[in-house]
Amino acid sequence: MADMNQQNQALATVDGGSDNPFFQDWSGRFGVPPFDRIKPEHFRAAFAHAFAEHEAEVAAIAADPAAPTFANTIEALELSGDALARVDDVFHALSGAHTNDAILEIEREIAPLTAQHWNKILMDEALFRRVETLYRERDRFALTAEQRRVLERYHLKLTRAGAALDPASKQRLAAITERLASLGTAFSQNVLADEQSYVLVLDGEADLAGLPDFLRAAAREAAEERGLPGKHAITLARSSVEPFLQFSSRRDLREKALRAWIARGDGGGETDNKALIAEMVALRAERARLLGYPTFAHYRLDDAMAKTPEAVRGLLDRVWAPARAGALADRDAMQAIVQAEGGNFELAAWDWRYYAGLLRKARCDLDEATVKPYFQLDRIIEAAFHTANRLFGLSFERLDGIPVWHQDVRVWEVRDAARRHRGLFFGDYFARSSKHSGAWMTTLRDQQKLEGDIRPLVVNVMNFSKAGEGGPTLLSFDDAKTLFHEFGHALHALVSDVTYPLISGTNVLTDWVELPSQLYEHWLQRPEILREFAVHCDTGEPIPENLLRRLLDARTFNQGFATVEYLASALVDLDVHSQPDAENFDITHFEQASLARIGMPAEIVMRHRPTHFAHVFAGNSYASAYYSYMWSEVMDADAFAAFEEAGDVFDARTAASLRDNVYAAGGSRDPAELYTAFRGRLPTPDALLRRRGLSELTG
């Protein structure tokens, strides 16, 4: 592809100077990228150099005159592309967690170039022939189980990228992949722009009605960060807008905040995502057709535990009816409160969280403002570390002086029970306007043993509202679960013990990857953890026993709502990608029709509406795979029961088996095989329904 080389040359003319950290050795001090010296202007040259280097490495593998062997082909591929992985990981850390105009611009430029680069490699004729030969003759080679899996994954990866297609189809598929990369970048930048440009300024005591101290402090801090010192501001970060919707007694302001929140990417104008979605959905359908699948969902799920759209729909449908019934019963109970208060209105979407708070207080004798002072960010981080210590023998030591991308980022060295270095963990916890919304885990380097004992550099990014000057940052119970969730992903990368990068850590199937994260949330919800780490921010007193009991009993409260808002997103995602043809696709109409078909309660909004559904449209990894959380939940509910059955949630034998078969195993074996090795069988959805308190309900 000549035009790619031209573009690479164009890129290379920009700052390839010797002060560019990407052309220097970083292997000292744990191999941490020198964030203090990396500037946006370094990326263009670094990418251009990395693309060219990787291309030359792969060309040499493909042109090797020797007959293909695992070592000269698969291992050689695994050893290639180091420079690209390095610049890519650093760039994505910044573009996700601390972006700016220069990085946004480079992101738009690099996305299609990256797609072009990978197209060229993954569709390379000679390379595919070598891999195909190895794959066909795989029984002839003395491969370890892990090597066999890596070979099979490479073969599948190339096939799914179109390596076996005729030249014309390859060309069309390559164009689709490039275009999708640009569209995904534009989608996520539009959402970010809508989040950055909106703030609900609260002016005076009347606007603050109902807001507890922690929320006022966070709103003051958010206003300060947005250049509005002395005011209070609600932003579209979940940890800002959700508590506002829960506490504000100003119905008019709740409506304003909710409408802004759910209109992200749907506001008309330059940052509207609807046309992008239409194009993406059509291109994905075409991609699937070219590769011989009836729909994108069939293509996507063929490489997942679920295997087929029917299997996914079966699970989602089974849970939908009881979830909806539970939500409607709660809605009626809340409408009764509205009536009793003399409110002359029908409960609306902006009322749900507020009245759910009142209903929870009535039913469970529990309110968020009482609970929150017991959930200090720093103590919950300690709780996550403590749990990792009890389960896997890991310890965490705070490190200073490690270069990071923002002053709020903290770094810990991770050691195992024998005090051996296992990697570094970076925690970036606070919301800021340079950060995309949501919470995620990523790596700056993956564990592997092919190039020596390479230890991982693992990152958690969250969007908690920072407390004002000097005060401890307080979390909701849900925030604390998010912290444990992302830390579970981090452990999957930190505990990883495989040889090959392709299947290291979280490089696994999407409907398996949420198991280590969701499973980890269970330990936060154990009395033995909460007694020690849920201590009051002012008095230092542990959470009182009866509050603890009420908190845990309340876990099934409002689960109808939580399940419905999640499932609606998962079902719409599946529906959108189940169309054989998506010409003239109109997402507004489609969303309405899809929700009408499932009987979506009018008072509940999908957890992610399509126009800001980053999982599905900001990239391709969760497209028609948002169901993965529930698929993994079927397993996590059942997996945690193994500890309960052992009579100890830290049972050493169960923990060792969990480490070996789940957290350390990466993608070294088929996930169903890994799960069975841990549990002796595959699970059914019953434990999930019980945990959500939905097993007694029917639609």
* Residue 486 C-beta: closest distance to Zn ion, Å: 7
Q: Who's near 646: CB < 8 A, 6+ residues apart? A: 653, 654
The smaller minimum CB distance to Zn ion, of residues 159 and 460, is found at 460
Q: Least CB distance from residue 502 to Zn ion, whole Å?
A: 21
Contact 162, 169 (CB under 8 A): yes
Cα dihedral sign, 493-430-200-375: positive
Between 21 and 488, name the residue whose CB sits nearer to Zn ion: 488
Joined together, the tokens standing for residue 180 give 């999708």
Q: Which residue has the tokens 């039913």?
A: 363
Q: How many CA atoms lie within 13 A of 343 on its CB side?
A: 17
Q: Which stretch binds Zn ion (CB under 5 A): 32-40, 134-142, 448-456, 511-519?
A: 511-519
Nearer to Zn ion, 22 or 520 (CB): 520
Closest approach of Cβ 126 to Zn ion, in Å?
38
* Residue 330 or 486 having the CB closest to Zn ion: 486
Furthest CA-CA distance within the chain: 84
Structure tokens at 167: 């030249």
Reduced to 3 states (helix: H, G, I; strand: E, B; else coil), residue 679 is helix
291 or 567: CB nearest Zn ion = 567
Window 99-158: residues binding Zn ion (CB under 5 A):
none
For the chain, the straight-line distance linking the first and the last C-alpha, in angstroms and rounded, comes to 56
Nearest to 233 by CA among 198, 209, 266: 198
- Asked if residue 210 lies in contact with residue 332, where contact means CB atoms within 8 angstroms, the answer is no
Tokens representing 242 are 């959700």
Least distance CB 439 / Zn ion (angstroms) = 8
- Cβ closest to Zn ion, residue 517 vs residue 668: 517
CB 489 to Zn ion: min, Å: 6
Which among 109, 486, 514, 603 is annotated as catalytic?
486
Q: Please, what is the angle between helix 352-364 and helix 238-247, to 10°?
A: 60
Smallest distance from Zn ion to CB 320, Å: 22
Mark 360-399 with x for binding to Zn ion (rule: CB under 5 A) and - for no binding.
----------------------------------------
**Contact region for Zn ion (CB under 5 A) — 110-118, 256-264, 422-430, 506-514?**
506-514
- CA gap 92, 440 in Å, rounded: 12
With contacts defined by CB under 5 A, name the span among 188-196, 307-315, 429-437, 508-516 that binds Zn ion. Answer: 508-516
Instruction: Determine, following the binding rule CB under 5 A, whether residue 517 of this chain makes contact with Zn ion.
Output: yes
Nearer to Zn ion, 106 or 475 (CB): 475
By CB under 5 A, which span of 114-122, 213-221, 498-506, 516-524 interacts with Zn ion? 516-524
Check the CA dihedral 546-548-551-555 and report its sign.
Answer: negative
Does residue 188 belong to the site contacting Zn ion (CB under 5 A)? no
- Stretch of 239-247, 347-355, 507-515, 600-608 contacting Zn ion, by CB under 5 A: 507-515
**Min. distance of Cβ 238 from Zn ion in angstroms?**
14
Among candidates 553, 560, 587, which has minimal Cα distance to 573? 587
Size of interface with Zn ion, in residues (CB under 5 A): 2
Among 118, 277, 88, residue whose Cα is nearest residue 188: 277
Single-letter amino acid code for the residue at 619: G
- Active-site annotation holds for 486: yes
Catalytic residues: 486
**Residues within the interface to Zn ion (CB under 5 A):** 514, 517
